[in-house]
Chains A and B, each alone.
Chain A
Amino acid sequence: MNEGPRSIVIVCYSEALSRITHMSGTAGNEALIWREGLVTPRGVRTIPALSGNALRYRTVREPGARWLIREYGLTGRLTLTQLNFLFHGGNLTKKSNGREDTNRIATYQRLFPLGRLLGGTLPDQILAGSLDTWIGELVCQENRDYLEAVLPDPKVLPARLRPAESFVSGYQYTRGDAARTVPTLARLKGPDSAGSDSSNLMIYSGQAVLRGAAFVHGFTLKNVSELEIGALILSLRLWQAAGGTIGGQAARGHGRLALSLVAGDFDQNEAVNAYVQHARSVRSEATAWLESVFARKPDAAAEGKTRTAPESVGLDLENAGEDL
């Protein structure tokens, strides 16, 4: 176990177990996959990729936050603001009082290693994170230079990889229409009845990255302890255990990835156990911290007060900036 904070790089290899439909937008009824421009000797190519934003949320923040909530027995007990903080990083909704509450930051980082990793925003303060999430790059010939740069042992790459477009295919589905599938169950008269001409049958289609394709992605953890590494690895494990999906159409079987670790100087079990034990040991404190930081101030209007200068009503000047 490493004693002090350190920076490490974790490289992952994720193989598509089903077609991947991480989309960028639509053209008519056709969904287009997310691509990244790449300068090659033969001009600029756009290569299918997985956005760092999606990977960060789906593989780390969401499973990690969900685990904390279940572990702490907080299901059904948090406000939307608290959930937004845990699942989406939170929002800066109040004026900052101009000073950094280092004690509060230190407490937060001690209680929530996952939060220290990802950062976030309290209502009046931004909290820096220490995790850089890489973009998921398709393992293809166009990305060869990149792969050689990031893989721990570039010699594992074959002499020539398949081109990116050989991994791209399409799909097409049809959304049914009750007027055609179950007309006998509809009422016979009136508007929107069995005989009315209100068909909404829709064909929709899109691009997909083929099953069997693979992505290299990773994480750079800056100045972290074993606890943050454990928080990350536990989140990745939870994500995999829950199906390991990325992108859309998971309800139709798309988006499953099988993740393997390729490089990373740490002991998985040691880090995860340390994090789990830590999280369990600070449960009461962490819950109380969440409660206090997001506690609502009494609503002035509801109490019949009118807004006046803080000095005149003797408000706590330290927190005055939050209310004005």
Chain B
Amino acid sequence: MSIPESSPSPDPVPVPVPPDLPEMDTESFRRKLAGLADPDRTTGMTEKTEIRETASRFCSILAYLFGRDLGRLTLSSRIDSALESACAKVSDDDLDRFVTICLDHIQADAAQAAACEPLRQLLETFLVRPPEWRQEFLHYIGTHRLAVVVRGKARWDLVKNKEIEL
């Protein structure tokens, strides 16, 4: 027998009953769901394209400003780790900080960066974009990092061949 009668179980201590489950009324449920709402805008194809091209351009600027003390053979992998590191550190829409972390990571020369007109233009562009755009930019780089590096490298090759402007 699995429960022998010869050894009756001791009187068990009643197990406490846990408290009520919370019940949500319509208003509190509405407030909860509001936190899962998409920002009041949708990302159209034009915006997606702009974000993708801006990310490629940013990569090519990083290649241009790549630290002279670093081996050029490590250019792509170093830019990749710069993006990875910056994405991990910037969780809001502060793209100035994002750019700064990337420049630090590739050991960009401050004087050369300050003189880089395309970088200044890019920072100005970031400044005038809405917060949702900036967050989408970070999200895109965070989730498409290798594609960004590949496109950035291809763009940098075109710049080197003077086929396009930086």
Q: Which A residues form the contact surface with B (CB < 8 A)?
A: 13, 15, 67, 70-74, 77-79, 81-82, 139-141, 153, 156-163, 166, 212-214, 233-234, 236-238, 240-241, 259-262, 268-269, 272-273, 276, 280, 283, 287, 290-291, 294-296
Contact = CB atoms under 8 A, between A and B. Distances in A.
15 contacts: A67-B15, A72-B12, A78-B3, A79-B2, A153-B26, A157-B33, A158-B36, A160-B40, A234-B18, A237-B20, A261-B21, A262-B24, A268-B20, A268-B21, A280-B14
B17 A73 contact: no
B29 A262 contact: yes
B33 to A, nearest CB: 6
Interface residues of B, number: 30
Contacts of B24: 13, 260-262
B19 interface: yes
Given A158-B33, A291-B3, 13 more contacts: A74-B9, A77-B2, A78-B2, A81-B2, A158-B34, A158-B38, A159-B37, A237-B17, A241-B19, A261-B21, A268-B21, A283-B12, A290-B3
Contacts, number: 110
Contact of B10 (A73, A81, A269, A296): A73
Q: Which 9 A-B pairs have the closest CB atoms?
A: A73-B12, A158-B37, A241-B18, A73-B9, A237-B18, A156-B30, A79-B2, A160-B38, A291-B3
Given A67-B15, A77-B3, A262-B29, A162 B36 contact: yes
Contacts of A13: 24, 29, 32
B106 to A, nearest CB: 24
A260 B23 contact: yes
A67 B12 CA distance: 12
B18 A260 contact: no
A260 B2 contact: no
Contacts of A161: 33, 36-38
A13 B30 CA distance: 12
